[in-house]
């Protein structure tokens, strides 16, 4: 459980919110021209990073508005909250993505790397 600072309501418990998954997914401009693999990649394939990830969140038990969050998924630290339609913040510096510096993907027992055919 962690707190999220809704840009419209203020700080609330995470239980009031719903995560809408990865942010900044752009719909292809020419869907009829895509292969089934390309279309399914757009629809279903999302990053599941252990580290800093940009996500869409909805204050589903509050104002019901959407916003973007830059969150470290390893620590649940929220690094930035910004409006829908804004570009992702440039988060860099000396801070490690994960507390012990392990790689974002494949640091568990199961590899999550997606290999395109
Ligand atoms: Zn709200």
Which pLDDT score, from 0 to 100, does residue 106 have? 53
Q: How many domains in the chain?
A: 1
| Cα of 6 from ligand 1 centre, angstroms | 5
Which pLDDT score, from 0 to 100, does residue 97 have? 60
| Cα of 43 from ligand 1 centre, angstroms | 27
Mean pLDDT of 40-48: 92
Task: Please state the pTM of the whole predicted model.
Answer: 0.77
Which pLDDT score, from 0 to 100, does residue 109 have? 42
Mean pLDDT of 82-110: 70
Which pLDDT score, from 0 to 100, does residue 8 have? 97
| Cα of 58 from ligand 1 centre, angstroms | 8
Nearest to 67 by CA among 80, 76, 52, 50: 80
What whole-number distance in Å separates Cα of residue 99 and Cα of residue 107?
Answer: 13
Cα 12 to Cα 2, 67, 103: the distances in Å are 9, 14, 31
| Cα of 111 from ligand 1 centre, angstroms | 36
Q: How far is Cα of residue 43 from the mean position of the Cα atoms in its chain? A: 15
Which pLDDT score, from 0 to 100, does residue 110 have? 45
pLDDT at 116 over 60: no
What's the mean per-residue pLDDT of the chain?
Answer: 85
Interior CA angle at 15 toward 108 and 91, to 5°?
Answer: 55
| Cα of 40 from ligand 1 centre, angstroms | 32
Nearest to 67 by CA among 23, 26, 25, 27: 23
- The CATH number of the domain holding residue 34 is 3.30.2270.10
| Cα of 2 from ligand 1 centre, angstroms | 15
Q: Is 111 exposed, middle or buried (0-12, 13-18, 19+ CB in 10 A)?
A: exposed
Mean pLDDT of 66-76: 92
Which pLDDT score, from 0 to 100, does residue 111 have? 46
Domain that holds residue 86: 1-117
């Amino acid at each position: 459980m962690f707190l999220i600072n809704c840009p419209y309501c203020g700080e609330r418990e995470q239980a009031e919110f719903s995560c809408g998954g990865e942010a900044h997914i752009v719909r292809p401009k020419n869907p009829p021209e895509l292969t089934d693999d390309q279309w399914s990649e757009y629809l279903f394939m999302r990053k599941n990073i252990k580290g800093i990830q940009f996500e869409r969140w909805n204050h589903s038990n509050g104002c019901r508005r959407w916003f973007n969050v830059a969150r470290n998924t390893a620590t649940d630290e929220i690094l930035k909250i910004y409006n829908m339609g804004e570009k992702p913040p440039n988060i860099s510096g000396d801070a490690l993505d994960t507390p012990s510096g392990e790689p974002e993907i494949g640091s568990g027992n199961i590899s999550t790397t997606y290999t395109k055919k």
